[in-house]
Amino acid sequence: MRHRWLCLVLCGLWLSIGDGFAVAAPTDSDATAGEFSVDTGVFMAPDEVTPQQIPDLREVQRKADQEYVAAQVNLGLAYANGRGVVKDEHKAATWFKSAADQGDARAQTFLGVMYMNGRGVVKDEHKAMEWYQKAADQGDARAQTFLGAMYMDGRGVAKDEPTALAWYQKAADQGEAHAQVNLGLAYANGRGVAKDERKAMAWFQKTADQGYAAAQALLGAMYMEGRGVVKNERTALSWFQKAADQGYAAAQTLLGAMYMEGRGVGKDERTALSWFQKAADQGYAAAQALLGAMYMDGRGVAKDECTALLWFQNAAAQGYAAAQDNLGRMYVGGNCVAKDERTALAWFQKAVDQRYAAAQNNLGRMYVDGNCVAKDGHTAAEWFQKAADQGYAAAQDNLGRMYKDGRGVAKDEHKAMEWFQKAADRGYAAAQSNLGRMYMDGRGVAKDERKGMEWFQKAADRGYAAAQAFLGAMYMDGRGVTKDDRKAMEWFQKAADRGYAAAQFNLGRMYVDGHGVLQDDRTAMEWFQKAAAQGNAQAQAALGRMYVNGRGVPQNDRTAVEWYQKAADQGEAFAQVNLGWMYEQGRGVPQNDRMAMEWYQKAADQRYADAQVKLGWMYEQGRGVPQNDRTAAEWYRKSANQGVAGAQSNLGAMYLNGRGVAKDERVAAEWYQKAADQGYARAQFNLGMLYEQGHGVIKDERVAAEWFQKAADQGNAQAQVNLGAMYLNGRGVTKDECMAVAWWQKAADQGDAQAQFKLGVMYESGRCMAKNERAAREWWQKAADQGVADAQSNLGGMYMEGRGVAKDERMAVEWFRKAADQGEVHAQAHLGWMYLNGRGVVKDDRMVVVWFQKAADQGEAHAQTILGMMYATGRGVAKDERTAREWWQKAADQGNADAQNNLGLMYENGRGVPQDKRKAMEWYQKAADQGHAGAQTKLGQMQRDQK
């Protein structure tokens, strides 16, 4: 968050400050000013005691031995500091004790310090209190200051803030700088006295004007935060500068933070670094931690994680929580150290023991992810709660996520909203983005897309890439704002430039589709590659598709498979479906239906509708799995219920044919209708068929034609063929042969064999176009090559007669045979005729019988007549007049005059049937009525004979 490190150091300044005192670790980077506590562990020698003032220690020793109090005090200081003698704190304490016992206030103060810190004596805070009290009662200002600190913290005595304040006041009234500072801090923090920041300012000012560095630093902090005075960052900077110039580490650190953040001065990370260095070289932990952060991020200096590590270690060794937390992060990430989550956990724990919120948050994340600890959402939530309660925004955001997802806590979207709101109000961009999503989706709050946009905007304006990407998506989809592809592009670009993979992927999509930008496959590929390199599964899948289609790159199925595999391994359903398709088709990999099934199954298990329909198709076809219509129908239904038109159409077909489900034409029509309403051409065609035939719906050729029209307009060749037939016969539409030809032409141009055949018929008959046997032959050839039996039969006829092509009876036989083998009855009859007459083949009565038999079995009257003749004469088959009569009867019943005449002959002569002149005359009459000359002659003769 903004000015994070400046807040960090300021907070530390308020917690502890003094001449050489260390700045304590703050509890949160956003914390407000804390409270002062005196560290009496630092021994302070009075300024007047210097080596120059003790030129001859032998003389001092002599006088001390003679019970001169001043000599004893100075000799104690010499031993305490190792000045002119070997440092010996035990001897120092002994000489201080001698002087103190004689009532010397300075000695009593120093002896109190020795007991307070266990230097030269056994540590004893009660004895320290006794000696401070003796000196303070004599009016020693430093003793009064230390005594106030003991009462303030409850050390060696019951905590008593008013008494502490009284002692600070006594010392301050004597001009004791530490006491004045402590008194100022008491007023600033409201400890032992009503909070009064103006009075605090007055005490800080008084001390700062004396050149006391700690007071100057605190005065700068007051101006920095606008406490007791109008906020003025320039004035704050000037006071920090004064203290820093005296070598005061806390002020140097604050001054560096001002330069780093550009507050009260132009932003200058190099100058910031130099001030941090000065303070760090003094062993100041906060500065060391900041210096580590500068090296870690490469701010003001070349990025150097190993140097960062050293500075963090220095600060952490002093117990500085922020550095301990950063060390933990380095071990988690393996930055300049071997990745070691156990060591990371230990460092986080050290910082957590100081209630450092950032570490509590990081410890929570360790439990969320199960890093070196058992995954435990409940424990994670507890740590997030601790940090969140301290106002740590990142933890508040994480706690909001836990409540949103119900991880470690009972799911409660209202509570999630509350925590997101707290963090968002602190300017935490991630929470602002999450708050935006809650408003967009109406989770934990009334849905309000406009408000959602406002929060996304706040986060995006702070440079939060995820929010920028969301904004791009909102403008792309027109959610909460007017759809605007250009603005979508702008936001995607901002997030993509920050390395946000999802935005890079979406930017690639915009270039692929030419939305908000000129279509550019090469640029799209560049963005997909950037996102894919970060492991973005959608981008990896998109790269696979680009390679499959050869867009922006040379077409390469093998590379496509590699990218699909990467994305599929991450569980990206789109990639899994496409990888399955590659295995199904054998593109880029060996064809393998079983592997195709596995990938379709993975995607289908994610409820990915396109995979479900593919899985249904595999079960229906029995590819990669045993064929199972019931399972196929189940998968089609899953996909159809998600609105996939192809699945709805396929499910309609299952109901229509009773495959995997009970046959139900009405339900079939309903599913076709759903898919057709989505514009699915195949379903529109099938729905047209149902209306044309009256299956599952009331027969309505007009409605049938409408659905055929919709499908035909989308290029569905079957619909174009049927629509042509409707126009040819005037069914459901006004009869128009030219429109029929137009639709058949469209379908024929797509390679539809039936349309090609029908177009050949139109050319052959000259309907709605000039008769053109050559064109007819060409279209029949196309259809015949695709195996259309009628076209093959007609083509045989053209070769047989030399129409539209040079006469070629051998070719005629070939085409008749192709059609005849498919059961085309006319071709079978023609083939029998060719064998009967030896045209294009050697005469062969046996083959004549074979082919006429096939045609006769299909009810072809001419074939039945010839077959009867073959049986009557015993050609190609044993003579059998009874069988001959049966075949002639079948043909005669169909009105074949030759068969009727032959039946008359059989009844007249009693061949194969009992002789019956009356029946003979009946059959002759039928044939004669059709103009059969032989029958007319026979009928005349029989009538004359009767006379």
pLDDT digits (tens, 9 = 90+) for 682-717: 999 999 999 999 999 999 999 999 999 999 999 999
Give 798-851 pLDDT, tens digit per residue: 999 999 999 999 999 999 999 999 999 999 999 999 999 999 999 999 999 999
Q: Are 457 and 468 in contact (CB under 8 A)?
A: no
Average pLDDT of the residues in 39-47: 34
Going by pLDDT thresholds of 50, 70 and 90, the confidence category of residue 30 is very low
Q: In the prediction, which pLDDT does 9 show?
A: 52
Distance CA 397, CA 413 (A): 13
Q: In the prediction, which pLDDT does 354 show?
A: 94
Strands (E) located in 531-622: none
Distance CA 873, CA 314 (A): 120
Candidates 786, 795, 736; CA nearest to 761 is 795
Q: Exposed/middle/buried for 590, CB within 10 Å: 0-12, 13-18, 19+?
A: exposed
Helices (H), 822-932: 825-837, 845-857, 861-873, 881-893, 897-909, 917-929
34 has pLDDT over 80: no
15 has pLDDT over 80: no
Instruction: List all residues 6 or more positions away from 11 whose beta carbon is below 8 Å from its beta carbon.
Output: 26, 27, 28, 29, 31, 32, 33, 34
**Which has the higher per-residue pLDDT, 10 or 186?**
186
How many other β-carbons are positioned within 10 Å of the β-carbon of residue 177?
23
User: Looking at this protein, which amino acid is placed at residue 688?
Assistant: G
- Stretch among 43-47, 260-264, 390-394 having the lowest mean pLDDT: 43-47
Candidates 860, 869, 796; CA nearest to 834 is 796
Distance CA 767, CA 156 (A): 119
Token pair of 42 as six digits? 């630092």
Give 434-465 pLDDT, tens digit per residue: 999 999 999 999 999 999 999 999 999 999 99
Q: Are 7 and 30 in contact (CB under 8 A)?
A: yes
DSSP assignments along 689-753, one per residue: HHHHHTSSS---HHHHHHHHHHHHHTT-HHHHHHHHHHHHHTSSS---HHHHHHHHHHHHHTT-H
Token pair of 268 as six digits? 């200058």
Q: In the prediction, which pLDDT does 715 show?
A: 96
Diameter of the chain measured on Cα atoms: 189
Angstrom distances, CA of residue 437 to CA of 4, 337, 414: 26, 38, 13
Distance CA 455, CA 898 (A): 93
For the chain, the distance separating the N- and C-terminal CA atoms, rounded to the nearest angstrom, is 128
Percent of the chain with pLDDT over 90: 89
Going by pLDDT thresholds of 50, 70 and 90, the confidence category of residue 583 is very high
Please give the torsion angle defined by the CA atoms of residues 841, 845, 851 and 856, in that order, rounded to the nearest 10 degrees.
140
48 has pLDDT over 70: no
Candidates 66, 116, 70; CA nearest to 96 is 70
Percent of the chain with pLDDT over 70: 94
Determine the distance from the C-alpha atom of residue 671 to the mean position of all C-alpha atoms in its chain, rounded to a whole number: 32
Distance CA 264, CA 3 (A): 12
Give 231-248 pLDDT, tens digit per residue: 999 999 999 999 999 999
Q: Which residue carries 């800080």 as its tokens?
A: 204
70 has pLDDT over 80: yes
pTM exceeds cut of 0.95: no
Give 872-924 pLDDT, tens digit per residue: 999 999 999 999 999 999 999 999 999 999 999 999 999 989 999 999 999 99
Compute the 3-state secondary structure of the chain and give helix, strand, coil in percent, each to the nearest 5.
70, 0, 30
Q: Are 90 and 74 in contact (CB under 8 A)?
A: no
758 has pLDDT over 70: yes
Q: Are 655 and 624 in contact (CB under 8 A)?
A: no
Q: What is the CA radius of gyration of the chain?
A: 50
Q: Which residue carries 């199960």 as its tokens?
A: 370
Q: Which is it for the CA torsion 171, 173, 177, 182, positive or negative?
A: positive
Altogether, the residues listed in the chain come to a count of 947
Residue-averaged pLDDT of the chain: 91
Candidates 539, 531, 608; CA nearest to 567 is 539
How many other β-carbons are positioned within 10 Å of the β-carbon of residue 283?
14
Instruction: List all residues 6 or more positions away from 186 whose beta carbon is below 8 Å from its beta carbon.
Output: 36, 152, 161, 164, 165, 168, 192, 193, 200
Distance CA 684, CA 925 (A): 53
Distance CA 146, CA 553 (A): 77
Determine the distance from the C-alpha atom of residue 840 to the mean position of all C-alpha atoms in its chain, rounded to a whole number: 70
DSSP assignments along 3-48, one per residue: THHHHHHHHHHHH---TTPPPPPPS-TT---------TTS----TT
Going by pLDDT thresholds of 50, 70 and 90, the confidence category of residue 39 is very low
Q: In the prediction, which pLDDT does 33 show?
A: 29
Going by pLDDT thresholds of 50, 70 and 90, the confidence category of residue 796 is very high
Q: In the prediction, which pLDDT does 37 show?
A: 27
Instruction: List all residues 6 or more positions away from 129 whose beta carbon is below 8 Å from its beta carbon.
Output: 112, 147, 150, 155, 156, 157
Give 624-653 pLDDT, tens digit per residue: 999 999 999 999 999 999 999 999 999 999
